[in-house]
Amino acid sequence: MVNRGTINYLNWVFGACLLVCAGRPLLAVADEVASDALALKNAEQSEGLAETEKVTPDPEKQIPVTASTFVCLQELHAVRGFFVGNLLGKLEETVAAATQPNGATYPAGSVVQLIPTEVMIKHRKGWNPATRDWEFFELTVSQAGSKINVRGTTEVINKFDGNCFECHQKAAPQWDMICEHDHGCDSLPIPNFVIRMIQDGDPRCE
Ligand code: HEC
């Protein structure tokens, strides 16, 4: 029997391959099919998202984020295996939170990334208590830059059918929804070396 975990794993491998094996004809076709499926899912999702956003996040606490907010991973600050930035010029505070041995609440403006296409951004306190003021983003990146496919709070699904919030909320409270390897989240079924390849292959860095 093929369980959900196996399907997710295959999806990850497939997705990782699309990122690192770009240029092969078979994958180009597969990519097209995958994009169609994604476009459909996004269309369904943005309807649901519009409702959620109407009731929860507080627009006055929102930090403006557009596609041009997102930059090449190497322009961010590396902390262990991931990257951080701060949209309000408070990089030191974000780095301090990320390097606290017992965890800390990240300051407003924090940008956190593991791979080029998935991002967490911290809005101002009170923006959306359920996600501890984090907004989740799923992007498409290319040499031309970044495109936001999906953004929001508890409803954002990644390309592999995983809900960002559901996974990240499993991190023990002192880690402020940051998973890393041992904070209590379900692991990513994708080996570290593939993550490193994806990080090194960010097409926006050229
Ligand atoms: C299956 C659970 C799961 C899902 C779904 C998931 N993540 Fe993660 N995420 C993780 C784990 C585990 C890590 C840490 C992996 C590592 O350090 O190698 C991680 C790492 C991250 C990081 C780096 C900081 C950290 O928490 O370690 C960001 C940012 C991130 N994910 C954003 C997202 C976004 C945005 C989505 C949805 C578009 C998403 N994730 C979906 C489990 C998940």
Distance (Å, whole) CA 190 – CA 193: 9
The pLDDT value recorded for residue 94 is 98
164 lines ligand 1 (CB under 6 A): yes
CA of 181 to the centre of ligand 1 (A): 10
> Quick one: average pLDDT of 125-138?
97
Q: Are 82 and 115 in contact (CB under 8 A)?
A: no
Distance (Å, whole) CA 36 – CA 107: 37
The pLDDT value recorded for residue 15 is 52
Helix (H) or strand (E) holding 111: strand 110-113
Distance (Å, whole) CA 130 – CA 102: 22
Structural domain range at position 46: 4-205
How many domains does one find in the chain? Answer: 1
Q: Quick check: 33 pLDDT over 60?
A: no
> Which of 22-31, 37-46, 120-129 ranks highest by mean pLDDT?
120-129
SS3 66: coil
Q: Which of 34-48, 127-141, 174-188 has the lowest mean pLDDT?
A: 34-48
pTM: 0.80
Helix (H) or strand (E) holding 9: helix 4-20
Please give the number of the atom of ligand 1 that sits closest to the Cα of 82.
23
Query: Tell me: the pLDDT tens digits for 93-102?
Result: 999 999 999 9
Q: If you average pLDDT over every residue of the chain, what do you get?
A: 83
120 lines ligand 1 (CB under 6 A): yes
Please give the number of the atom of ligand 1 that sits closest to the Cα of 171.
26
Distance from the first to the final alpha carbon of the chain? 44
Secondary-structure percent of the chain, ordered helix, strand, coil, rounded to 5: 45, 15, 40
Residues in Cβ contact with 46 at an 8 Å cutoff, skipping those fewer than 6 apart = 150
136 lines ligand 1 (CB under 6 A): yes
Query: Tell me: the pLDDT tens digits for 62-81?
Result: 999 999 999 999 999 999 99
Query: Tell me: the pLDDT tens digits for 139-192?
Result: 999 999 999 999 999 999 998 899 999 999 999 999 999 999 999 999 988 899
93 lines ligand 1 (CB under 6 A): no
178 lines ligand 1 (CB under 6 A): yes
Max intra-chain CA distance, the chain: 51
The pLDDT value recorded for residue 53 is 45
CA of 68 to the centre of ligand 1 (A): 22
**Residue nearest atom 21 in ligand 1 by C-alpha distance:** 114
**Predicted confidence band at 132 (pLDDT cuts at 50, 70, 90)?**
very high
The pLDDT value recorded for residue 206 is 77
> Quick one: average pLDDT of 109-130?
98
